[in-house]
Amino acid sequence: MTFHVLTLFPEIFSSPLKGSILGKAQERGLVEVRVINIRDYAEGRHRVADDYPYGGGKGMIMKPEPIVRAIRALLEGDPKTWVVLMTPQGVPFDQRVARRLAAFGHIALVCGRYEGVDERVRSFVNEELSIGDYVLSGGEFAALVVIDAVSRLVPGVLGDAEAPEEDSFSGGLLEYPQYTRPPEFEGKRVPEVLLSGDHGRIRQWRRRQALLRTWQRRPDLLEEAALEEDERRYLEGLRGEGDGL
């Protein structure tokens, strides 16, 4: 999996890409991240990549020419690269989108800055993504989120092949509670079922806890989650108890 990141601030990526899972994935050749400085495609001695907005207003707008030149240069090397613009106006990024992107061999992430990119840039990308309804300094931080989430789904990146499927949102539910040693901490004990060694009971407990936590914190996720009939009855029971409170 190769990520091409188009940015005005390439130095932002130097540290995050070296650590933990991402760093090891790159060392093993499973993931490659190529950072492209958009200013390299700007003209003039000062390599200006932004300008004032037509019609007036605060802030600066990223010029279309450098971005489009960078995209075209990238596509000349690999026409199948999937080009994504990181923007607050994009489709919400979630685990389903991450799984879809993981099927691509090459992804280009265009990072907006300032007050955004010239509207004409949008016709040169395949899709637009947003990581949430809040304001960031630039698309670089959003791009790092996408890189991390998608990289985890690349075969071999995680040591345990089943680990991504147990994460929150992977099955449409939040993850069940997790515990480690010691068995008791300040009066709070680890649930006995997790100490039983009965893997069938543990799986059942974890599934019920995932359902309970999702119902309590993100009930909206349950509308599209793949549920068994007994799990639906369990949720109906929870709703009934809630109505009686």
Look at residue 206 and tell me whether its pLDDT is greater than 70: yes
CA dihedral 176, 180, 186, 192 (to 10 degrees): 70
Look at residue 75 and tell me whether its pLDDT is greater than 50: yes
Which pLDDT band, with edges at 50, 70 and 90, does 241 fall under? confident
Domain end (from 85, 118, 151):
151
Q: Which of 71, 78, 184 is nearest to 117 (CA)?
A: 71
The per-residue pLDDT for 242 is: 72
Look at residue 163 and tell me whether its pLDDT is greater than 80: no
C-alpha distances in angstroms, 39 versus 30, 64, 85, 102? 28, 12, 17, 28
- Domain match, 137 and 204 both: no
Distance CA(19)–CA(22), nearest Å, equals: 6
Alpha helices per DSSP H over 78-198:
95-101, 139-151, 163-166
For the question of whether the overall pTM of this predicted structure is more than 0.85, the answer is yes
The per-residue pLDDT for 56 is: 93
Which pLDDT band, with edges at 50, 70 and 90, does 171 fall under? confident
CATH number at residue 177: 1.10.1270.20
Which pLDDT band, with edges at 50, 70 and 90, does 164 fall under? low
Q: Which of 122, 116, 110 is nearest to 146 (CA)?
A: 110
End-to-end CA distance of the chain: 50
- Domain match, 137 and 99 both: yes
What's the rounded mean pLDDT across residues 19-37? 96
The per-residue pLDDT for 99 is: 96
CATH number at residue 47: 3.40.1280.10
Residue 55's domain comprises 2-151
What's the rounded mean pLDDT across residues 41-46? 94
String of DSSP letters for 9-42: -GGGGTTGGGSHHHHHHHHTTS-EEEEEEGGGG-
- Domain match, 127 and 228 both: no
- Which pair of structure tokens corresponds to residue 160? 């345990």
**Beta pairing, strands 184-185 & 188-189:** antiparallel
- Domain match, 109 and 187 both: no
The per-residue pLDDT for 245 is: 45
Domain end (from 117, 151, 185):
151
Domain end (from 122, 151, 180):
151
> How many distinct structural domains can be found in the chain?
2
Does a structural domain hold residue 72?
Answer: yes
Q: Which residues are catalytic?
A: 88, 115, 152, 167
- Domain match, 12 and 92 both: yes
Look at residue 141 and tell me whether its pLDDT is greater than 60: yes
- Domain match, 200 and 124 both: no
Contacts of 173 (CB under 8 A, 6+ apart): 210, 211, 213, 214, 221, 222, 225
Query: What are the phi and psi torsion angles at 84 (to 5°)?
Result: -125, 130
b/e map of 133-170 (b: 16 or more CB within 10 Å)? eeebebbbebbbbbbbbbbbbeeebbeeeeebeeebbb
- Which pair of structure tokens corresponds to residue 120? 């004409």
The per-residue pLDDT for 200 is: 97
Does a structural domain hold residue 54?
Answer: yes
b/e map of 186-199 (b: 16 or more CB within 10 Å)? eeeeeeeebeeeee
DSSP H or E segment with residue 74: helix 64-77
**Beta pairing, strands 61-62 & 82-92:** unpaired
The more confident residue out of 44 and 152 is 152
DSSP H or E segment with residue 85: strand 82-92
The whole-chain average pLDDT of the chain stands at 93
- % of the chain with per-residue pLDDT over 70: 94
